[in-house]
Every structure is written in structure tokens, then in C-alpha cells.
């Protein structure tokens, strides 16, 4: 473990660290100075972080981060976050104008924050937040106004590396075109076989066959082989098409698998719940403005005509992951 009172560009240069602790009790100064690019396995900061970049396996910041600071790690704790975090699991006491992209997020209080994650828990949501979840968004208390709570695949694609998804969409289109072409060839071969099978059967009964008969039999056998080839190709394309289509639809229609859960009553105004479905033509939003709702659980009902529905009963099993986030971040 290496200890510093403060860390500047001159202190580290291009050096990578195993474990590093930076501690400065002066709240008016930053522990990690402007322009620092810190790379380490474990980073412990007892103080503030200026405009800098931190890359680590685990990062623990017991202070405030600058609005232009960037932290990238597997596990992150920040006392007061104004900057950007990209991580697997994140715990933040106060999120103020910060941006978080993660898998699991636990927030005590947030204002003007932006969060995109699979699982999100917020203890007290103040105002002007944009929160987007993939599976669960749990709000213990909403005491502010003008918040957006949504399950929206487009935002995940915009924030994440979406090249893989769009490649799958391209593959899907190519497979659909190949399938159409193969079915056309298959139908042509089938029509020829059905039309000529009776005549070929009679020709095969003839003991002495002339050249024309032999050509007809050869042509028929050739088309039959082509049919079998097309049929095998058809089966392969259908199987692959099913796999790719399932993967693409799991993203486009992720809103059907997500839930937004309110533990307590909404105390604010103009707070929006939104579920979005993507397709090749246009996105479709299902919206609800929170008022004095008795319902606690909001979800998108999957049907020919989808609808945003809600009910009062909270399944406690849907909340079991919340406390595990803190365990994941603070326990090895």
C-alpha cells in the first residue's frame, strides 16, 4: 500500500499502482489534483477529487468528485458524486449532477443526476433526475419534481457499445433476405417435383429407355438433389434466424421485462414514468404522470396491444438484490 497526502501529475507520471491511499483532511483542497490519470488495483481517497481520471478494480472516494472527473472500476463508492462513473456496482451517498453507467446502483440521495443501469435503488429522489433501468428501478421516496423514470432500450444502446447490436440487426436483415430467396428456390423445385414425379415413375418402369427418357430422369434427380440442398439450407437459416431474432428482440422489447417500483407515496409533481418499445419503424412510448397513486408497481403488459399497468402489491423477492449491492461494493 502506498500513501499520499495529495496526488498530482508530477507525483505519478505514467506509473501504475497496486494499492494506493490518498488522504487530505482539508476539505478546501483536492486530494487528487487536476489532470491526474491514476491507474491502480485499489484506490482509497479520503478527500476530494479534482478533474481527473481514475481506472481501478475498486475505487472508494470519501469526498466529492469534480463534475469533469471520470471513474472507471468494477466496484465504486463515492460520498458526493458530481462526475462520471462507469462500473459494475456503484454506491453513492449523494449524486449531484453526476452521471452513472453501471449494472447495479445504490443511491441515498440524488438531484439532477443521470443513471443508466440494470438494477437501480434510490432512497430519496429529489428533482430533475433522468433514471433509466433495464430490469428494476426501485424508488424508496420521491420528494422532488420533474424526474423521468424509464425503461428504454434506446438509451442503453446510446450509452453502451451498440456496435454488436446493430451488427445483429444487419445479420437479421441478411438472414431474412436469404430465407426468402431459399424459400422461393425451394418452392420452384417442389413444384417441378410434384408436377413430374408421376411421369418419372412411369418412365422408370420402362425397361428400354431412350435418350430423352434418360435426360428426363437425370433432370428430375438433379432437381430432387437441389430440393434436398435447399431444404437443408432452409433449416439452418431458420435456426440461426430464431437465435438472432431472439437476441435482437430481447433488446428492442426489454421494457416488457422491467419494473418500476415505488416504496412510498410520490410527494413531488410532474414526475414521469415511461416504458419504451423499439422496432424498425419507430419507437413507442407508454407514459404515466405520477400523482397520488395507490399503485406501487408499474410494468408494461405484453400483448398484441401493449399497455402500461400497475398494482399495489410489492413482491419482496423483487427487492432482495438491493442490500446485496452494498455487500458487493464493501465486502471482498
pLDDT averaged per 10 residues in sequence order, the chain, 332 residues: 75 74 83 90 94 95 96 97 97 98 97 97 98 96 96 80 72 89 91 82 66 79 89 92 84 87 92 88 88 88 90 90 92 72
Q: Flag whether 328 is in a domain.
A: no
Helix axes 211-252, 163-205, angle to 10 degrees: 160
Residue 80 lies in a domain: no
Is there a contact between 152 and 134 (Cβ–Cβ < 8 Å)? no
pLDDT value, residue 281: 63
Is 231 within the bounds of a domain?
Answer: yes
> Angle at Cα 61 formed by Cα 56 and Cα 63, nearest 5°?
155
Number of domains in the chain: 1
Asked whether the whole model's pTM tops 0.85, one would answer no
Residue 207: predicted pLDDT: 57
Determine the Cα angle at 212 with ends 210 and 216, to 5°.
120
Q: Are 136 and 261 in contact (CB under 8 A)?
A: yes
What pLDDT is recorded for position 211? Answer: 75
Instruction: Give the dihedral of Cα atoms 289, 152, 326, 44; nearest 10 deg.
Output: -120
Distance, CA of 253 to CA of 38 (rounded, Å): 39
CA angle 133, 134, 139 (to 5 degrees): 35
Please tell me the predicted confidence (pLDDT) of residue 252.
75
Q: Does 209 fall in a domain?
A: yes
Q: What does the pLDDT look like over 162-188, one tens digit per residue?
A: 667 777 778 888 988 999 999 999 999
In a domain, 170, yes or no: yes
For residue 59, the cross-strand partners are 43, 76
Alpha carbon 305 to chain centroid distance?
Answer: 24
Phi, psi (degrees; rounded to nearest 5) at 281: -95, -55
Predicted local confidence at residue 1, as pLDDT: 67
Q: In the structure grid, which three cell numbers stand for residue 261, read together?
A: 417500483
Question: Residue 116: inside a domain, yes or no?
Answer: no
* CA-to-CA separations, 194 to 105, 201, 209, 230, 234, in angstroms, rounded: 63, 12, 22, 16, 19
Cell numbers standing for residue 281: 419503424
Question: Rounded distance, CA 126 to CA 112, Å?
Answer: 8
Q: What is the pLDDT of residue 29?
A: 83
Q: Which domain holds residue 192?
A: 163-252
Those residues with Cβ within 8 angstroms of residue 150's Cβ, 6 or more apart along the chain or in another chain: 131, 132, 133, 272, 273, 274, 275, 276
**Residue 122, pLDDT score:** 98
Amino acid at each position: 500500500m502506498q500513501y499520499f497526502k495529495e496526488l498530482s501529475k508530477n507525483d505519478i507520471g505514467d506509473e501504475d499502482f497496486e494499492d494506493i491511499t490518498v488522504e487530505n483532511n482539508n476539505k478546501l483542497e483536492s486530494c487528487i489534483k487536476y489532470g491526474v490519470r491514476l491507474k491502480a488495483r485499489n484506490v482509497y481517497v479520503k478527500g476530494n477529487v479534482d478533474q481527473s481520471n481514475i481506472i481501478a478494480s475498486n475505487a472508494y472516494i470519501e469526498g466529492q468528485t469534480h463534475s469533469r472527473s471520470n471513474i472507471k472500476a468494477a466496484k465504486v463508492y463515492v460520498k458526493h458524486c458530481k462526475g462520471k462513473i462507469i462500473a459494475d456496482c456503484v454506491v453513492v451517498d449523494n449524486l449531484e449532477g453526476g452521471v452513472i453507467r453501471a449494472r447495479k446502483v445504490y443511491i441515498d440521495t440524488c438531484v439532477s443526476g443521470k443513471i443508466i443501469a440494470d438494477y437501480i435503488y434510490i432512497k430519496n429522489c429529489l428533482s430533475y433526475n433522468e433514471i433509466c433501468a433495464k430490469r428494476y428501478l426501485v424508488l424508496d421516496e420521491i420528494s422532488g419534481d420533474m424526474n423521468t423514470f424509464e425503461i428504454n432500450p434506446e438509451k442503453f444502446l446510446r450509452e453502451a457499445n451498440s456496435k454488436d447490436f446493430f451488427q445483429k440487426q444487419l445479420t437479421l436483415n441478411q438472414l431474412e433476405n436469404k430465407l426468402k430467396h431459399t424459400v422461393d428456390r425451394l418452392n420452384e423445385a417442389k413444384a417441378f417435383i410434384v408436377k413430374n414425379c408421376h411421369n418419372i415413375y412411369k418412365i422408370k418402369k420402362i425397361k428400354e429407355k431412350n435418350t430423352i427418357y434418360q435426360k428426363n430422369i437425370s433432370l428430375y434427380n438433379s432437381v430432387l438433389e437441389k430440393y434436398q440442398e435447399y431444404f437443408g439450407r432452409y433449416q439452418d437459416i431458420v435456426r440461426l434466424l430464431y437465435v438472432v431474432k431472439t437476441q435482437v428482440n430481447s433488446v428492442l422489447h426489454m421494457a416488457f421485462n422491467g419494473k418500476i417500483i415505488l416504496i412510498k407515496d410520490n410527494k413531488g409533481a410532474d414526475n414521469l414514468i415511461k416504458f419504451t418499445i423499439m422496432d424498425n419503424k419507430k419507437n413507442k412510448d407508454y407514459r404515466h404522470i405520477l400523482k397520488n397513486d395507490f399503485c406501487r408497481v408499474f410494468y408494461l403488459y405484453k400483448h398484441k396491444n401493449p399497455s402500461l399497468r400497475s398494482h399495489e402489491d410489492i413482491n419482496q423477492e423483487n427487492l432482495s438484490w438491493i442490500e446485496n449491492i452494498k455487500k458487493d461494493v464493501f465486502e471482498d
